[in-house]
Chain A
Amino acid sequence: DGGITQSPKYLFRKEGQNVTLSCEQNLNHDAMYWYRQDPGQGLRLIYYSQIVNDFQKGDIAEGYSVSREKKESFPLTVTSAQKNPTAFYLCASSFTQSGFWNSPLHFGNGTRLTVT
């Protein structure tokens, strides 16, 4: 079955450590995204990538980094510079179509990161 796999489901880190969240998709989607969800909040966009080797900052990119070396993979690194890293992180992907976008995002099941 095609889908988006995020691993691990739960992740614990000590403050000051960088941590990388994995996201893999086999949907042949061009675009991939990272969102963050906090309690009582909507999803906020961290980074997105429309094509391999290219990515753009979202609304809350500070303290995060990404890479897009393969179409299928879009790992997110939460660095020690991120002031409030504890959150639920969601990866998504979609088709893109130049000049017209009507492809809903497909989401993975998320990684809950706890930093103490």
Chain B
Amino acid sequence: DQQVKQNSPSLSVQEGRISILNCDYTNSMFDYFLWYKKYPAEGPTFLISISSIKDKNEDGRFTVFLNKSAKHLSLHIVPSQPGDSAVYFCAASAGMTGGSNYKLTFGKGTLLTVNP
């Protein structure tokens, strides 16, 4: 049973345009969400996070939106740059409520390609 779903395996956008990566979750105990970026043969690097008490968090070109009622979050990258081309993983945790003790559940990832 996949608790964190990224239904788009890949996404291609033009440089300068907006990239929107989507993530759905099924576990209502999840209360903290993160996005990681991963280049081939490297470990994921933390990008941005959001707790369930917020519906938006922004950091430079990256904004994460959380819709708790729909159990859906999205990552917006504006403007997209070729260096953003990577696999993006959505992850979730019930850690803030003490549920899963710091465990992260990851989606399968979305490969973003930003074309010059």
A contacts, CB < 8 Å to B: 4, 6, 9, 31, 35, 40-45, 48, 50, 56, 58, 90, 92, 94, 96, 99-102, 104-110, 112
Which of chain B's residues have a CB closer than 8 A to the CB of A90?
Answer: 43-44
Across the two chains, which residue of chain A brings its CB closest to B9?
A40
A85 and B89 CA atoms in complex are apart in Å by: 23
Which of chain A's residues have a CB closer than 8 A to the CB of B9?
Answer: 40
Whether A43 contacts B89 in the complex (CB less than 8 A), given A50-B101, A102-B49, A104-B46, comes out as yes
Which of chain B's residues have a CB closer than 8 A to the CB of A42?
Answer: 4, 6, 89, 106-109
Which of chain A's residues have a CB closer than 8 A to the CB of B34?
Answer: 104
Whether A48 contacts B102 in the complex (CB less than 8 A), given A43-B44, A107-B43, A110-B43, comes out as yes
Once the chains bind, are B43 and A4 in contact (CB under 8 Å)?
yes
Once the chains bind, are B102 and A107 in contact (CB under 8 Å)?
no
Does B113 interact with chain A (Cβ within 8 Å)?
no
Once the chains bind, are A109 and B46 in contact (CB under 8 Å)?
no
Does B93 interact with chain A (Cβ within 8 Å)?
yes
B contacts, CB < 8 Å to A: 4, 6, 9, 32, 34, 36, 41-46, 49, 51, 89, 91, 93, 95-96, 98, 101-109
Once the chains bind, are A101 and B42 in contact (CB under 8 Å)?
no
Whether A45 contacts B45 in the complex (CB less than 8 A), given A99-B98, A100-B96, comes out as no
By Cβ-Cβ distance, the 9 closest A-B pairs, closest first, are A107-B43, A101-B95, A42-B106, A104-B46, A43-B106, A42-B108, A109-B43, A107-B44, A101-B102
Once the chains bind, are A45 and B108 in contact (CB under 8 Å)?
no
Q: How far is the CB of B26 from chain A (nearest CB, A)?
A: 14
Whether A58 contacts B103 in the complex (CB less than 8 A), given A100-B96, A101-B95, comes out as yes
